[in-house]
Each structure stands twice: as structure tokens, then as C-alpha cells.
Chain A
Amino acid sequence: MSDVTRAEVCAVACAEAWRGDGEILASPFGTVPSIGARLARLTFAPDLVLTDGEAALMAGTPAVSAQAEELVREAWMPYRRVFDVVWSGRRHVMMMASQIDRYGNQNLSCIGDWHRPATQLIGVRGSPGNTVNHPTSYWVPNHSPRVFVENVDMVSGVGYDRAAASPAAARFGEVRVVVTNLAVLDFATPDHRMRLASVHPGVTVDEVRAATGFDLVEQGVAETRVPSAEELELIRNVLDPYGLRNKELPG
């Protein structure tokens, strides 16, 4: 399957993040993670719960391009009730990261000194609460030393070292996996430092090193699996027939 695109490999890698999660709310941010969560639900994680991006849970598993009027809904989930889910732990979010460090601390707030930032970003949003209440993964479509930094400018999502200093934060916190356009990274190391778990087909370990602003743990780096025929069919014809994945991840 030499015609498999990087975006399709990433969609499957994102789907894998939710494997084994059972009946929890999967909250993907970004197009490729949204395809991934839906793919997981249509294949190996059928009990996942998905929102319509507004205030409802979706009964069906439609294409990411589906319009509001096409959706079939199974329950009401306004923002206030999302906090009931977050704080109960029945959720696994995949967020974006403007910066992330070796322990999985994430920044969505600003670049530079918070008191007078060089660049104001969207704000911490739900990152602090998400990361100490339920599993969190990240999607980085532009793996580069600007994103993978030695120290993030403002810790929005809590990583392992910061959680360790606060037992009530560490109790339910877990940074599961970081999927990028180049690789899959996790924290399966004794001190929870970021590990290069796999490189996508066609990517070298050197490329990942060059795109990362700190040293990764490298032991038995695998190659990210390619989509099965069934998965490709679902991605191309069911979940993303208009190729929105290629807008987020060209090439």
C-alpha cells in the first residue's frame, strides 16, 4: 500500500490512542484526531462516546465533514455537563499543543512571559483540569523544535514532573501519547520522560531528533503501523470523503 498518505498513518495512530478505553468520552481536537476517534469507534473501540462539537453526543459515526442537520444525536451534553464527565474521569482528550516538553507539559496560553506575552494564544482553556482528571493525548501536526521545547513558556496542561509535585494532581493524571506528523511518542519510561515509540513510514529517527528541541528516550523504536485495507476504506470513503485530512497535513 505505497499510496498510503502520512495523514492516513496519523489518523490510525490517533485512533490507537483510544484503544482499550471502553465506554468513555473521546474528545479529539483537530481534523486528523477526529477521523482517528471515529475510526476507533467503527473498528476496535465501539463503545466510545463522541460529541457533535456543539452540545450533543452523536449516535452515529458520520464523516468529519457532516453538517449539523445530518447528525443523529443520542444525548444532551452542554458545556456545563462536560465538566461532570471531566471530573469523573470518564474521558480521554486529544488536544493540540503550541509547546510541549519532555515530561508532557503543554502550553496553549502564550509565547514569552505570561505577564506581557510576545504572542497571546487562546488561553489555558480546559488543559489544567483535563490533565489532572483523565487521560490526555496530544496531536502536533507540525513537529518542530518550536513546539518540542526544553521548557514550555506557560504550563497549561500538566506533565509528569509537575504532577509528581502535587499528589492530588498525579492521582488521576496521565499523559498517554503524542502523535505528530513524524512520529508517535509516549512516556513509557521509568521517570516518564518522553520516548520515541515509533516513526512513521518514510521518516528517520534522525529527522525526529532534528525536529525535537530536547533529547528523546530511544529504545527499540518501531515503525508506526500502516492502516489496514478496512481502515483505509473507512477513512477515504466513510469518514473523510472530501480529504479534509490533507488540508491539516499536506503531502
Chain B
Amino acid sequence: MTDKRATLDDMVAEVRPGMTVGFGGWGSRRKPMAVVRALARAKVADLTVVSYGGPDVGLLCAAGLVGKVVYGFVTLDSIPLDPHFRAARQAGAVEAMELDEGMFYLGLLAASWRLPFLPTRAGLGSDVMVVNPELRTVVSPYGGEELAAMPALELDVAFVHANRADRHGNGQMLGPDPFFDDLFLGAARRRFLTAEKVVEPGCLADEGPLQSVTVTRLLTDAVAQVPGGAHFTSCPPDYSRDEAFQQRYARSAADAESWAQFAARFVDVDEEEYRAAVSEERTGSGASRP
């Protein structure tokens, strides 16, 4: 059986300017943030980012690497709006395809099933059909209802962060919600998995119920062990969201100087330096708190 272990850098090296990249997770939950940081570091530009959006979208917008965002929302959960994404949209710096979050799901499903579209009621009557002029409707051959035809969201690359994986590319989600991660992988040409821990093949059942292995090796091309790979988003049961750090991230949208400082300390550094900087920030902010 193929050993699919690779490094973050190996994975990110396959992403070229202008590609369409999907990220698993939801809002500020189990986002492949180590990958996002690595992409920002590598300065891969003009990306189309497809995401149930959180700081993956915001951070890449702040780094100036996003050409277009495909989303139903962008949120940090405990902070309702991602200020970097807001700034990018309000500056007209990124194109947008804004979709109902169910349409988004069907777009991934259609791509993973190799269908051109899936029909749905969602979107009908709303301005989603207006602001995205590429969206079409389809008339049912069984009775004539006119439905929205959600096009396949085909991805060049998808990245997903799991709690556990094995070297063959099976991925396990030990938190309460597996989100749509398997569909992001299914919709992509190149499919990359990072995990808190890579365990021996056959041992995922020791980590949690087999039903939590929602990504099978049929869906992955490479896997990397990246402890803390979702930081600062939540990755239960391994860790919860680092709220203080998320606030630090949000504050970095204040002006160009704030972002430059944040990027120098937390983006333009490797994973080891990142962990050290985060830990230093934690101690520092703890000490300075009244």
C-alpha cells in the first residue's frame, strides 16, 4: 500500500497561481491553518478560495493572494465577521461568488459525483441568482418545476485538517461535526490531508469509533502530520479555539502596519517558529493583563 506521507511544503508546492483551492472545516472550526500560513508564506497569488469561510479566507485576503472567494458566509464564530475579508470586499480587491450554504454543499457534491449541476430550490427568488449571473435554472422533466441548477464547484486542490490519519490517507474527525471535508476532497483534482497525529494503519479504530473516519484513502493523495495544524481555530477534542489569539488576528486588520507586524511574527515563519511565537504571545499577553 502506498505510503502517502509528505511535508506541508511538498503539498503547498503543488499550488500554482490562479488555482482554485478548497479548504475543509467551517467558520473558525478545524481549518487547515498551517496550510493557509504556508500558502501565504509561499505567496501563491490570484487564488480562487472555496470555503465555508473563516480565517482561511481572511488571512489569505490580508496577504493579498486572493483573486476570488466562493462562499456562503465568512465568520470567526465568536467574532461574527472576519475583518480582513470585510476589508478586501469593501476595497473591491476580490471577486466574489456568494451562495446559499446549501447550494455550496450541492456544488461540492456535484463535483465529487462528476455531474455538471444539481437541482435545488435554494437560491430561487433571492439575489444569489442575480449577483452570480452564471447561475442558471433547469426545468424538471417530471412536471415542469423550474429549479436552480447549482453548478459543480470543481477544485484544483483541496486541503483538509483531521484529528487523526494514517499514512495511507485515511482521515478521522474526532470532534462532533465532520463538516463537508470529504466532499472538498471529492471535488478536487489534488487532495491533501493534514492531521494532528498520523497513527499506524489499522489503529484509527483505537482512537475513536470507525464512523469518525469520514475521509477514506480513496480521497487523498498525500498526508502530513501537523500538530496544531488548525490553530487558532478549534479542533476538538484536541484543542478548542484560541480566542485570545483570534482577537490578535482580528486586531491585525486595523491598518497596514498592524498586518505587517502580525505577518512578520505569525505568517512569514515556519511551523516551529509559529508555535514559539504563539506561546510567547500567550505568556506575554497573560503577564500584561491587569
Which residues in A have some Cβ–Cβ distance to B below 8 Å? 54-56, 76, 78-80, 83, 86-87, 109-110, 114-129, 131-133, 154-158, 162-163, 165-173
Contact = CB atoms under 8 A, between A and B. Distances in A.
Given A78-B176, A168-B145, A173-B125, A128 B103 contact: yes
B67 interface: no
Given A116-B92, A120-B90, A83 B105 contact: yes
Given A118-B90, A123-B53, A166-B146, A128 B179 contact: no
Nearest to A52: B176
B95 to A, nearest CB: 9
Contact of B123 (A118, A129, A171): A129
A132 B121 contact: yes
B120 A129 contact: yes
B176 A55 contact: yes
Contact of B121 (A121, A162, A172): A172
Interface in B103-135: 103, 105, 120-128, 130-131
A169 B123 CA distance: 9
A83 B109 CA distance: 13
A116 B53 contact: no
A110 B177 contact: no
A127 B126 contact: yes
Contacts of B26: 79
A116 B81 contact: no
Contact of A109 (B98, B105, B121, B122): B98
A169 B99 contact: no
B177 A87 contact: no
A122 B85 CA distance: 10
Interface of B: 26, 53, 71-75, 80-81, 85-86, 89-92, 96, 98-103, 105, 120-128, 130-131, 145-147, 176-180
A156 B126 CA distance: 6
Contacts of A117: 89-90
B89 A158 contact: no
B103 A132 contact: no
Nearest to A132: B121
User: A-B pairs with the 5 shortest C-beta distances?
Assistant: A129-B122, A123-B73, A55-B176, A169-B125, A158-B125
B81 A124 contact: no
Contacts of A78: 176-179
Contact of B124 (A56, A109, A127, A132): A132
A127 B145 CA distance: 21
Nearest to B146: A168
Contacts of A131: 125-126
Contact of A80 (B81, B103, B105, B126): B105
Contacts of B101: 124-126, 129
Contacts of B102: 83, 86-87, 126, 129
Contacts of B147: 168
Given A54-B176, A120-B81, A120-B86, A132 B73 contact: no
Contacts of A115: 92, 131
A79 B180 contact: yes
Contact of A122 (B81, B92, B122, B146): B81
A79 B30 CA distance: 14
A135 to B, nearest CB: 14
Contact of A124 (B53, B100, B124, B146): B100
Given A118-B90, A124-B98, A172-B121, A129 B103 contact: yes
8 contacts: A109-B127, A120-B90, A123-B71, A125-B100, A128-B128, A129-B120, A132-B125, A154-B131
A130 B145 CA distance: 18
Nearest to A152: B127
A92 B99 CA distance: 21
A116 B88 CA distance: 9
B19 to A, nearest CB: 23
A167 B100 contact: no
A56 B73 CA distance: 22
